[in-house]
Structure 1
Amino acid sequence: MELQQYLSRRVLEELDSFPQLNLDKLQYIVGVDAAYHKDLMCGVAVLLDYRTGFVLKEAVVYRKPAIPYVPGLLAFREAPAYIAAIKKLGAKPDVVFVDGHGLSHPRAFGIATHVGLVLNTPSVGIAKKKLYGEEKIEDGERVVWAHGRVVAKVIEHRGKKLYVSIGYKIRLEDAVKLTKKLTVDKYKLPLPIALADQLSKKFVRRLK
């Protein structure tokens, strides 16, 4: 926890200097997710062509998590496998989508922030439930305040809430725009995460 607090101070200090993302120049998007079989975790990274939505490459890593599931400490359980899977892809992503929170976290260092910082890559956290912060309506939009600033926005998809949070090196408005562009009616979650989720479950079924 002390490590998270130390690193989060660095990220919060850099927030206002994050450059605006040029969506027209994006090429590679990665989504990560995990599934479990007994005490084995299957972490998956899926590389997408941003312009076409086509899957270019997939990578899987099997790990025994170092710690049990503890709310707020998901990064220490799943991030190492995600980072290893992303590196196996052999391509530098422009943005990583992570199933979990970023700055909307008790110590402003959720799994999306952890992954982005380690890889030095812009990252976005996507979650179906709020972990931390105060929801407010501002200018007609539902936002989440934490650590003295807006760290996430709530969008609706298929009648359900999605919490879009700053992970690392990305402005919230860009994270929301990109999420909306990558969200399709077929899936509950944005396409990169939805495909990683499908693939992780497929690999886990093979273990049974």
Structure 2
Amino acid sequence: MELQSILSRRVLESLADTPPLNVDSIKYVAGVDAAYSGGIMYGVAVLLDYRTKFVVRETVVSKKPAIPYIPGLLAFREAPAYISALKRLGVKPDIIFVDGHGLSHPRAFGIATHVGLVLDTPSIGVAKKRLYGEEIVKDNKIYIYAHNHVVGEIIVHKGKKLYVSIGYRIRLEDAVKITKQMLTPQYKLPLPTALADQRSKRIARKMKQK
């Protein structure tokens, strides 16, 4: 937890220096998620072409979680599997989507920030529930304010709130723009994490039947 706090300070201090993202340069985006069966976690990474939204590659990693589920410490439980699965893709994505939070976290170091920092890749956290931060309305938008910074924005998709937060090396406006680009009528979450969620659950079900 102390390490999270130290690293988060560095990330927060770098926010002002984070350059705008050249969206036209984005070629690949990846999403990660995990499901469980028999005490084993199955972490899945799905790589998509940003423009066509077609799946290019996908990988799965099975690991025994190092710790039980503890709110605010999800990174220590699931990030190792996500990082391994992303490395196995063989292609470095331009953006990583994580089903979870980034800077909108009690120590400003959620799983999206953790994964992005380790892989030195821009990352975005998108969650269905708020974990931390104050909601502030400005210019008809709802922002998440925490640690003396605006760290996220709430958007609505399919009638439900999505909590988009800065993960690593990305500006909030870019994170929101890219997230909206990855939303589809079929899924509640952005396509990369929705597919990773779908595939991880399918694998967990198969393992349970064995």
TM-score range, shorter chain: over 0.9
Residue 38 (structure 1) shift: 2.6
- Please state whether the residue corresponding to 1:29 is helix, strand or coil: strand
Which residues in structure 2 correspond to 1:12-27 (within 5 Å)? 12-27=12-27
Which residues in structure 2 correspond to 1:63-82 (within 5 Å)? 63-82=63-82
**Which residue in the other structure is 1:93 paired with?**
93
Report the count of equivalent residues: 208
Q: 2 CA distance for matches of 1:43 and 1:188? A: 20
**Residue type of the alignment partner of 1:173:** E
Which has the larger displacement, 18-27 or 52-61?
A: 18-27
Q: 1 CA distance for matches of 2:97 and 2:177? A: 13
**Which residue in the other structure is 2:192 paired with?**
192
Residue 24 (structure 1) shift: 1.1
Residue 22 (structure 1) shift: 1.1
Q: 1 CA distance for matches of 2:9 and 2:149? A: 13
TM-score (norm 2): 0.98
Which structure 2 residue ranges, 5 or more long, are not aligned? Answer: none
TM-score (norm 1): 0.99
1:175 aligns with 2:175: yes
**Which residue in the other structure is 1:2 paired with?**
2
Q: 2 CA distance for matches of 1:17 and 1:38? A: 45
**Which residue in the other structure is 1:118 paired with?**
118
Give CA deviations for 1:42-89 in whole Å, capped at 9, x if unaligned. Answer: 000000000110000000000000000000000000000000000000
Residue 139 (structure 1) shift: 1.0
Q: 1 CA distance for matches of 2:117 and 2:33? A: 18
Percent of aligned pairs with the same residue?
68
Q: 1 CA distance for matches of 2:178 and 2:71? A: 27
Residue 136 (structure 1) shift: 1.2
- Please state whether the residue corresponding to 2:156 is helix, strand or coil: strand
Task: Extract structure 1 runs of 4+ deviating beyond 6 A.
Answer: none
Q: 1 CA distance for matches of 2:93 and 2:47? A: 8
Residue 129 (structure 1) shift: 0.6
Give CA deviations for 1:79-130 in whole Å, capped at 9, x if unaligned. Answer: 0000000000000110000000000000000000000000000000000010
- Please state whether the residue corresponding to 2:56 is helix, strand or coil: strand
Q: 2 CA distance for matches of 1:56 and 1:202? A: 19
Q: 1 CA distance for matches of 2:93 and 2:23? A: 13
Give CA deviations for 1:127-175 in whole Å, capped at 9, x if unaligned. Answer: 0010001011111101110000110000000110000000000000000
Q: 2 CA distance for matches of 1:96 and 1:163? A: 16
Q: 2 CA distance for matches of 1:204 and 1:129? A: 23
Q: 2 CA distance for matches of 1:15 and 1:143? A: 16
- Please state whether the residue corresponding to 1:131 is helix, strand or coil: coil
Which residues in structure 2 correspond to 1:45-56 (within 5 Å)? 45-56=45-56
Q: 1 CA distance for matches of 2:149 and 2:8? A: 14
